[in-house]
Structure 1
């Protein structure tokens, strides 16, 4: 029986592995070594990562593409948990999915009452112990999420990210000797990528 050439075979459905590669692709700008280790752990090539990102971008920009909330559900399946949240005067819904690469985290999609997606990023899994964040030395890449850093070094001020999947925080934190510094931290998909002393 003739086998269909690889180039003409239909692509496998875009799934959780592919979404993890999309997240990693953005993180590679800051932490290529961590991304390389994660890629090997997942058993995929650089070409696989590029292809996942190409397909994701095509899904985002398709003229008749799914709405964002439906897109995440089609990729990840039914959420592991759905949590009601109140933000200001609005009741919102947070949908959480487990991703194998980050077992202590969950991919959270926050939706407005009309179903629109407000945010999609990594958060600490319910019941999982977060990191002890006391000094600048604790702020290592991938060690914490946006909300964990904001709580540990309150008051923190949000900064505009350099891309849609990036967030920033400005705060003051002590070094190992107790000297306090003004800092700026950058997060990709909600996970810490780098911290710099800004003053």
Structure 2
């Protein structure tokens, strides 16, 4: 990979992995090898992504995702309260049962971007805390499996927290990166 070539879906997946390496370097290492790229390639992809995001001439977030990932595989209109928005979904090679989802408000402003289960796909059966393994489930899946659940601020950009209740009444806090479970604590 070179810094002069186009920035596409492969490079974007390296950006996702870069932030996940903070929690699970061993999983990231395996994924990197599966993609056939070096650690230097991952760093370079992240550098280029950050430059795109921070550029004073940067295009809108939605336009940036379209330029990097192409046209979405699917666009789904959703109603959240009084707001109608669009969910743009792209496949990701590393996680074939997931999609990268970008939620856009009217006017095209991006207000959420993360990994979700592919439409019609089934996630893992989540019954106990032991079922919550890194990279196995999404924010929405944990929230549905263990109500009541409450979103928490993330500890860094692209991170999300979730406070949830186990069937035995125990309270746990999960941390997600790009919407994918990384860890949980009591």
Q: TM-score scaled to structure 2, two decimals?
A: 0.97
**Aligned position for 1:193:** 182
1:35 pairs with 2:28: yes
Provide the rounded CA distance (Å) in 2 between the counterparts of 1:40 and 1:180: 40
Provide the rounded CA distance (Å) in 1 between the counterparts of 2:6 and 2:22: 27
Structure 2, unaligned runs of 5 or more: none
The residue correspondences of 1:42-81 to structure 2 (distance < 5 A) are 42-81=35-74
1:18 pairs with 2:11: yes
Q: Report if the CA contact (8 A) 2:85-2:106 is conserved.
A: yes
CA-CA distance at 1:10 after TM superposition = 6.6
Runs of 4 or more consecutive aligned structure 1 residues displaced over 4 Å after TM superposition: none
Provide the rounded CA distance (Å) in 2 between the counterparts of 1:172 and 1:86: 27
Aligned length: 186
CA-CA distance at 1:132 after TM superposition = 0.1
1:167 pairs with 2:156: no
Structure 1, unaligned runs of 5 or more: 1-5
CA-CA distance at 1:172 after TM superposition = 1.6
1:142 pairs with 2:114: no
Post-superposition CA distance 1:120-172 (Å, at most 9, x none): 10000011111100000100000100000000001101111011200000112
Provide the rounded CA distance (Å) in 2 between the counterparts of 1:75 and 1:99: 12
Provide the rounded CA distance (Å) in 2 between the counterparts of 1:30 and 1:141: 9
**Aligned position for 1:114:** 107
Provide the rounded CA distance (Å) in 2 between the counterparts of 1:20 and 1:171: 28
Tell me: CA distance 1:64–1:183, structure 2 relative to 1, closer, same or farther (3 Å): same
**Aligned position for 1:102:** 95
Q: Report if the CA contact (8 A) 2:160-2:176 is conserved.
A: yes
Provide the rounded CA distance (Å) in 2 between the counterparts of 1:151 and 1:105: 17
**Aligned position for 2:122:** 129
Q: Report if the CA contact (8 A) 2:17-2:28 is conserved.
A: yes
RMSD: 1.3
Provide the rounded CA distance (Å) in 1 between the counterparts of 2:112 and 2:30: 27
Q: Which has the larger radius of gyration?
A: 1
